[in-house]
Amino acid sequence: MAASIVTRFAPSPTGFLHLGHAMSALYAWRRAREGGGRFLLRLEDIDAARCRPEYAEAILEDLAWLGLDWDGPVRVQSAHMAEYRAALDALAARGLLYPCFCTRAAIAREVAAIGNAPHGADGPPYPGTCRRLPAGERAARIARGEAHALRLDTAAALAATGPLTAEEEGEGAFGIDPAPLFGDAVLARKDTPASYHLCVTHDDAVQGVTLVTRGIDLKPATHLHRLLQALMGWPVPRWRHHALLTGPDGRRLAKRDRAVALRALRAAGRSPAEVRAMAGFPD
């Protein structure tokens, strides 16, 4: 018998949900419910500077008003930092992480100086400055208390795993190569003890997610997430990246652009059924 489908919706409580969020949540919820599976809710609140309790409460309220239910307790990432630290320690023990003391400004200057080409998923790929530091210098700078991030040595990681593929639902398997997109990705920094990439991949494994549904803008992240899964021996889900809702100007809906919040639509008298239809899911 085929395993039951498990999907999830994992917003960050950095603002109120808008129609784009509603579309993603409804897509994951319907896939789970139509497949007789489970739909999970997770709050990705590792960004302590931007996340707010009032936004977390509003997410639960807005989803319930929209007519969505979820299975089991809500997983809140900030309550699981020790788990992410253990994953980082495991990677470090294998020599796959290194401390990076470069500021964003310094990286931008070096990239500009060497004429590095197109930007990847997280900006210009890191040129590897601190990867080349001697171990003694690294240790001395850490001992002095210098702020640093932890980067994944992508070349070493790929050498450890060998060739990898991921499966996009409806398209089939595709090859994995995070190097051009992320360079040596940051997996932790002082202000964020574990990165989005590490936490989301860890949590999908812990929660038994079998189908990751998310916007097409996040498809490049699959390259890095698949590599982390291989390194950590985590289960490998399938992926389904859906189109994004756009506004009248053709730009995708985003909190930073002050997209109309679901609660504003509710306050204006819209019904849950109307909002579901606006998000592309008519009853």
Q: Please, which residues have CB within 8 angstroms of residue 197's CB and are 6 or more apart in sequence?
A: 185, 187, 221, 224, 225, 228
Residue of 31, 42, 197, 255 with catalytic role: 255
- The packing angle between helices 81-93 and 196-206, to 10°, is 100
d(CA 11, CA 68): 14
Has 219 been annotated as catalytic? no
The partner residues of 252 in beta bridges, in order of sequence, read 246
- Our CA dihedral for 42, 47, 48, 54, rounded to 10 degrees, sits at -50
d(CA 20, CA 225): 23
Q: Please, which residues have CB within 8 angstroms of residue 69's CB and are 6 or more apart in sequence?
A: 39
H or E segment to which residue 24 belongs: helix 19-34
**DSSP state at residue 175:** E
Tell me which residue of 15, 5, 67 sits closest to 254, measured CA to CA: 15
Tell me which residue of 19, 43, 27 sits closest to 203, measured CA to CA: 43
Tell me which residue of 279, 165, 268, 262 sits closest to 222, measured CA to CA: 165
Question: Quick one: tokens of 12?
Answer: 């960050």
Question: Catalytic positions, please?
Answer: 255
